[in-house]
Amino acid sequence: VSFDDVTALQQRAAGLFTAEISPDWTIADKPNGGYLLAMLGRAAGLVGLHPDVIAASAHYLTTPEPGPVTIEVEVLRSGRSASQLRTSLQQDGRSCVQALLTTSRLDADSTAYWDRGVPAPGSLPMADCIRIPDRTPTGLSVAIMRQVDLRIEPGCLGFADGRPSGRGELYGWLALPDGANFDPCSLLYAIDAFPPATFEIEATGWVPTLELTGYVRALPAPGPVRILQRAQLIEARRVDEACFVWDVTGRLVAQASQLAGIKLG
Amino acid sequence: VSFDDVTALQQRAAGLFTAEISPDWTIADKPNGGYLLAMLGRAAGLVGLHPDVIAASAHYLTTPEPGPVTIEVEVLRSGRSASQLRTSLQQDGRSCVQALLTTSRLDADSTAYWDRGVPAPGSLPMADCIRIPDRTPTGLSVAIMRQVDLRIEPGCLGFADGRPSGRGELYGWLALPDGANFDPCSLLYAIDAFPPATFEIEATGWVPTLELTGYVRALPAPGPVRILQRAQLIEARRVDEACFVWDVTGRLVAQASQLAGIKLG
């Protein structure tokens, strides 16, 4: 099933949509948070005057089940070059995700004016990276790994053998089903697609995202994307992670930070 | 005038406050974006069940003038360990800033469980850093610099002489009026207090914040805070910046990212 299909929206009224969370885009039966944000991004692109999400900030209230949801979008401001919108995803009358988004129009011909250059730690081609299995070591189903092709470089796969490197970072590649090209909406999934970078520090259970902010900086070239997911600080049972996404040409196309809960610290 | 005074709120109804934007906390007569977010954080701490902001995501719609504003707060979810809230700042019926916030209770005794360690580029004590003047080279008033004590290390002050280093980062110290201690609310100001890190790339006019997300990770020790503000990518007239805030003991107490407009790229 394509990413477009699992994020399809039916418009019910001005600023009101219904959608269906796919049971296939889940980890232990819970939908991925970036997948939910991509749905909100798609709705924002339809309601505002501008098609491309460039900034999205989501707060996760409660995890919806696979199945029908309602998405509401309110335009906060429509400018010449950008629209600003408030969105929410609800299920059975409960608000599950709230997000503020900015949309604009990204130009396929833009180039970086100045780039600090994040030291991309990996260098292997996708074919030399290891695909993540669709089941956790404890036997939970990671159904989403049967949909996307997510591969991690062998150098940061210590956690798979119970020997995390302690570096707290994961890097590798992500491709959508059938090798579909990424767009600003699916990049909102990409920024939350990787396993928690904390797996390379210490094994824990679920690391639920509390807040996720992503910036889409450019339209990606066709093909898979390279991702770096990096933990910064674990304290008081919370961790922040940074994420960088490059297209196959090595261009930085998305960046994100998230705060998540973790049973450490 | 103390930071508490310029962020004071008057409650008018459940979840409804009025406040006064100080003309002294402005740059070229525009209030600082982190100062406005601190007001929203204070309102969220009063309305929710938890006192300390730990995550805040703000989208800036239009810049309010100094003077009276209205702040609305809606509780989205109240949990045992955290509250999630939606807030907005309005002036003359126009929404100026919208933010989603998470509040919790920070424990003064918590310690970092794991810290990647951001390479703090500076090392000079505050007394050896240079205070930012209260007027731009083009003669605009930076009134806020008469309120706070913001000092930058000489090594990243090339921009002050028209010779930016090209490194796109600024580091130094920040103290509140009368040396008041920082708390989670005033840390929301600290994450946006520094000049744009792009000043150390190329001189431009105003670099207006479009989106600002901050995480407060710990209660800071009494005293000033050390700040690193760092640009990552300038493309299509937008720049993202990361910010790190440490207390005087060297503990990482806040982190942020922002997307801003810039007349480059």
- Express each pLDDT in A89-124 by its tens digit: 999 999 999 999 999 999 988 999 999 987 667 789
| Closest Cβ opposite residue B259 in set A55, A76, A264 | A55
Query: What sign results for the dihedral spanned by CA atoms A116, A53, A56, B72?
Result: positive
Average pLDDT over residues B56-75: 98
For residues A129-157, give the mean pLDDT: 92
Which run of H or of E encompasses A35? helix A33-47
Q: Does B86 reach chain A within 8 Å, measured CB to CB? A: yes
- Contact between A37 and A58 under an 8 Å Cβ cutoff? The reply is yes
Taking only residues 177 to 196 of chain A, the set having a beta carbon closer than 8 angstroms to any beta carbon of chain B reads: none
**Per-residue pLDDT at B209:** 97
Q: What is the mean pLDDT of residues A245-262?
A: 96
Contact B233 A211 (CB under 8 A): no
**Cβ contacts of residue A5 below 8 Å, gap of 6+?**
none
As a dihedral over the C-alpha atoms of residue A86, residue B232, residue A223, residue A49, rounded to 10 degrees, the angle is 30
pLDDT of residue B133: 87
* pLDDT attached to residue A117: 84
Give the chain A residue nearest B244 (alpha carbons).
Answer: A232
Please give the Cα distance from B89 to B200 (Å, whole number). 32
How far does CA A247 lie from the centroid of its chain?
15
Which of A38-47, A201-210, B154-163 has maximum average pLDDT?
A38-47
Of B122 and B7, more confident:
B7
Pairwise CB contact (< 8 Å): A57 & B168:
no
Chain B CB within 8 Å of residue A265 CB:
yes
Q: Does A136 touch chain B (CB under 8 A)?
A: no
Return the half-sphere exposure (C-beta side, CA atoms, 13 A cut-off) of residue A40: 36
Contact across the interface for A95 and B86, Cβ inside 8 Å: no
Q: Which of A239, A153, A227 is nearest to A202 (CA)?
A: A239
Using the CB atoms, write b or e for B111-127: b if 16+ within 10 Å.
eebbbbeeeeebebebe
Q: Which of B62, B77, B113 has its CB closest to that of A77?
A: B62
Compute the average pLDDT of residues B199-221.
95
Amino acid sitting at position B151 = R
Q: Which residues neighbour B54 within 8 Å (Cβ) at sequence distance 6 or greater? A: A238, A259, B82, B102, B103, B104, B106, B184, B215, B216, B217
* Alpha carbons B263 and B259: distance in angstroms, whole number: 13
Chain A (151-170) residues lying within 8 Å, Cβ to Cβ, of chain B: 168
> How many helices (H) does chain A have, and how many strands (E)?
3, 16
The DSSP letter of residue A144 is G
What pLDDT does B19 receive?
98
Stretch (H or E) spanning A38: helix A33-47
Dump pLDDT digits (tens) for B80-134: 999 999 999 999 999 999 999 999 999 988 999 999 987 667 789 999 999 988 9
Length of chain B: 265
Count of all residues that appear for chain A in the document = 265
In angstroms, the CA B156 to CA A190 distance is 35
In angstroms, the CA A82 to CA B239 distance is: 15
Tokens 């490059």, residue? A246
Q: Which pLDDT value is given to residue B222?
A: 97
Percent of chain B with pLDDT over 70: 99
Chain A contact for B103 (CB, 8 A cutoff)? no
**Is the minimum CB–CB distance between A55 and chain B shorter than 8 Å?**
yes
Segment A28-80, tens digit of pLDDT: 999 999 999 999 999 999 999 999 999 999 999 999 999 999 999 999 999 99
Q: How far is A178 from chain B (nearest CA, A)?
A: 30
Alpha carbons B71 and B242: distance in angstroms, whole number: 27
Q: Searching chain B, which residue's CA lies closest to the CA of residue A57?
A: B57
Determine whether the interchain pair A231/B114 forms a contact, defined as Cβ–Cβ distance below 8 Å: yes
**Per-residue pLDDT at A5 exceeds 90:** yes
Q: How many CB pairs under 8 A join A and B?
A: 172
pLDDT in tens, A208-246: 999 999 999 999 999 999 999 999 999 999 999 999 999
Residue A76: strand pairing partners? none
Judged by a CB distance cut-off of 8 A, whether residue B208 touches chain A is no
**What is the interface pTM, i.e. ipTM, of the complex?**
0.96
Residue A137 pLDDT > 80? no
Whether the pLDDT of residue B180 is over 80: the answer is yes
Contact B142, B133 (CB under 8 A): yes
Q: What is the mean pLDDT of chain A?
A: 95
Asked if residue A17 lies in contact with residue A193, where contact means CB atoms within 8 angstroms, the answer is no
Query: Mean pLDDT across chain B, nearest whole number?
Result: 95
- With tokens 């260098």, the residue in question is A123
CB B198 within 8 A of CB B239: yes
Q: Cβ(A210)–Cβ(A259) under 8 Å?
A: yes
CB contact under 8 A, A232 and B112: no
- pLDDT above 90: residue B244: yes
Q: Residue B238 and residue A230: Cβ atoms within 8 Å?
A: no
> Would you call A116 and B59 a contact, using CB atoms and an 8 Å cutoff?
no
Mean pLDDT score, A148-156: 96
Mean pLDDT, rounded, for B71-83: 96
Cα dist from B251 to A35, A142, A265, B226, whole Å: 34, 37, 15, 10
Q: What pLDDT does residue B84 have?
A: 98
Q: Report residue B205's pLDDT band, with 50, 70 and 90 as the boundaries.
A: confident
